């Protein structure tokens, strides 16, 4: 199971949960302009799976923003003037609410998207497939730290490295999307 945040809209923060190649839309939470007063948001995904999301506070990763200065977590920025997220090369560590370079407890099945970038030349495997299968392949591989997805050719490039590991191999290309895997 993995979690994706679609940042293509500025009016709300839609959350999508995908299992295998099935994608299910969850409740859409409006972007808060003030701190949310609830202590947790819980959404049932299936009869056996429940996902709890702790409410982020001002400056936290996953809190709404309009500029980078509002993102107080080290190594985070304001994506699309909508939400604070870890910058490319850093994984979100939910237990500490930090953006980190390593995940000692392993990786989760959630990813942070960076549009228009990729790490070149460090693939552990490459397959031609859809993005859902690509997520499944990475999630099934404990050493997979990131995905570089070629949108034009539907090529999935799994990698055990991140932008931090190979800054000099980090490239901009509007036809690629980079997905950094987050921590457990």
51: in domain? no
Task: Count CB-CB contacts under 10 A for residue 160.
Answer: 14
Domain holding 19: CATH number? 3.50.4.10
Give residue 90's domain range: 2-28+58-183
Residue 165's alpha-carbon distances to 14, 120, 168, in angstroms, are 31, 12, 9
Q: Using 50, 70 and 90 to split pLDDT, how confident is the model at 3?
A: very low
CA-wise closest residue to 81 among 96, 62, 66: 66
Q: What's the pLDDT at 52?
A: 43
pLDDT for residue 12 is more than 60: no
Cα–chain-centroid distance for residue 30?
Answer: 19
CA-wise closest residue to 116 among 145, 144, 151: 151
The answer to whether the beta carbons of residues 178 and 87 sit under 8 Å apart is no
Q: 20 or 73: whose pLDDT is higher?
A: 73
38: in domain? no
Q: What's the pLDDT at 54?
A: 64
50: in domain? no
Domain count of the chain?
A: 1
């Amino acid at each position: 199971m993995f979690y994706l945040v679609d940042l293509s809209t500025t009016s709300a923060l839609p959350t999508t949960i995908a299992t295998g190649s099935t994608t299910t839309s969850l409740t859409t939470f409006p972007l808060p302009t003030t701190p949310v007063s609830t202590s947790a948001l819980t959404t049932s995904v299936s009869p056996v799976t429940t996902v709890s999301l702790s409410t982020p506070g001002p400056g936290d990763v996953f809190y709404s923003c309009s500029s980078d200065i509002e993102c107080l977590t080290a190594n985070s920025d304001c994506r699309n003037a909508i939400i604070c997220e870890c910058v490319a090369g850093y994984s979100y560590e939910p237990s500490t609410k930090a953006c980190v370079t390593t995940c000692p407890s392993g990786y989760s099945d959630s990813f942070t998207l960076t549009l228009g970038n990729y790490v070149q030349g460090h693939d552990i495997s490459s397959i031609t497939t859809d993005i859902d299968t690509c997520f499944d392949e990475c999630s099934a591989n404990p050493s997979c730290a990131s995905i570089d997805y070629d949108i034009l050719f539907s090529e999935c490039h799994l990698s055990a490295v991140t932008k931090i590991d190979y800054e000099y191999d980090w490239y901009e290309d509007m036809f690629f999307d980079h997905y950094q895997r987050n921590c457990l």
